[in-house]
Amino acid sequence: MRSTYASVSLASIRHNIELMRSRLKPETKYLAIVKANAYGHGMEAVANRAMESGASYLGVAFSEEGVRLRLAGITAPILLLGATEEDHMDDVIRHGLTPTVFTMETLQLLQAHAAKLGMSCRVHIKVDTGMNRIGFTSEAAFTEAILLLKRSPNLVLDGLFTHFAVSELEDTSFTLLQSERFRRYIDIARQNGLNPILHASNSAAALHIPEAQFDMVRGGIAMYGCHPAGHKVEGIDLHPVLSWHTYITHIKTIPAGEGVSYGLKFVTPCDMRVGTVAVGYGDGYKRCLSGIVDVLIRGKRARQIGTICMDQMMIDLTDVPEAEVGDDVVLLGAQGDEEITADELADKAGTISYEILLSISERVPRIYTQD
């Protein structure tokens, strides 16, 4: 196996789910968001561990992701959070996946496909309470959808949900306003004799806004050990799940005044001991981090220098004179007393932890540990 790899701690998945659930009512269900290959961690392994750790539902973006979980033998309810195209509806119904519905047309098509297959299909209706992405945007349109659903013999309303736009902010007023708007849709569903599972909260709201928990929360980034606000929060002991490793392939001393890597943009200010490591932007280690990021070697921080190449990059070993070829290099994660978090890399790359984790490319093998 390649010595550049990502280690994924399944015990930390469990810990983070238990931590989130400990902040909620015991009866509140947990939907584990495993879309996009479980934020880069590996969908099947995370889904299985999440279900063993108390999750009741899994959430993916679209049907292919759901089918992938079914083919892996996962039988849990799987919510498709995005749109479902007509071409995919037969697959969705046959595999018992749960589509999100936010147009009348989708309801009609799902009913027609389910009737043709002689099967039933559970759906969740999404309402837009302020995110302005997908969802019914008026009570009138929602009421019409509810009435159509009640007349659709092959469809069952399993859930009703919305999504928060700014739940990671300290100011919770907009999230509470979205919750209030959501409650109006809930009333309409109930007045029509329907009692779906209600859900709205993502990780940020699940951790900080207990009033918004309804019947279920949908946890993504916190399950992977990152705080949604982009920094650690006192009293919330999330455990990072993924650590990313490579190794030193070569060490040499470069005389003062020499350029290093493509473009020769970094010039050695003095004689420098420089290590080459086996990772680059082809692995998802972003090129925009060139020269501004640290790695960990022998428990110490060392600065990356010169342009990051596709498969390799260089490290200044001045402060780690004991480093040797073959040494483990931590790109993300802890070593000794030092730690590099996804948030640290995200800050430097001008993005969010989600994108850092998701960027780790397929050619980086994921190794699963139980602890």
Q: Which residues bind ligand PLP (CB under 6 A)?
A: 33, 81, 163, 202-204, 218-221, 228
Residues forming a β-bridge with 304: 315
25 is catalytic: no
Please identify, using beta-carbon distances, which residue of 49 and 245 lies nearer to ligand PLP: 49
User: Hey, what are 183's tokens?
Assistant: 């409650």
Among the options 29, 35, 126, 286, which is catalytic?
Answer: 35
Please identify, using beta-carbon distances, which residue of 122 and 273 lies nearer to ligand PLP: 122
- CA 241, CA 347: separation in Å to the nearest integer? 19
The set of residues, in sequence order, having a beta carbon less than 8 Å from that of 82 and lying 6+ positions away, is 61, 62, 100, 134
Rounded least distance, CB 243 to ligand PLP, Å: 19
Amino acid type, 363: R
Rounded least distance, CB 149 to ligand PLP, Å: 20
Rounded least distance, CB 223 to ligand PLP, Å: 7
Question: Whose CB is nearest to ligand PLP?
Answer: 220
Please identify, using beta-carbon distances, which residue of 221 and 315 lies nearer to ligand PLP: 221
Rounded least distance, CB 218 to ligand PLP, Å: 4
- CA 227, CA 234: separation in Å to the nearest integer? 11
285 is catalytic: no
A 10 A CB-CB count for 359 gives 17
Please identify, using beta-carbon distances, which residue of 203 and 290 lies nearer to ligand PLP: 203
Among the options 116, 150, 232, 262, which is catalytic?
Answer: 262
Following DSSP, what letter does each residue of 107-174 receive, concatenated? Answer: HHHHHHHHHHHT--EEEEEEB-SSS-SSSB-SHHHHHHHHHHHHT-TTEEEEEEE---SSTTSS--HH
User: Do residues 301 and 317 touch, judged by C-beta distance below 8 A?
Assistant: no
Active-site positions?
35, 262
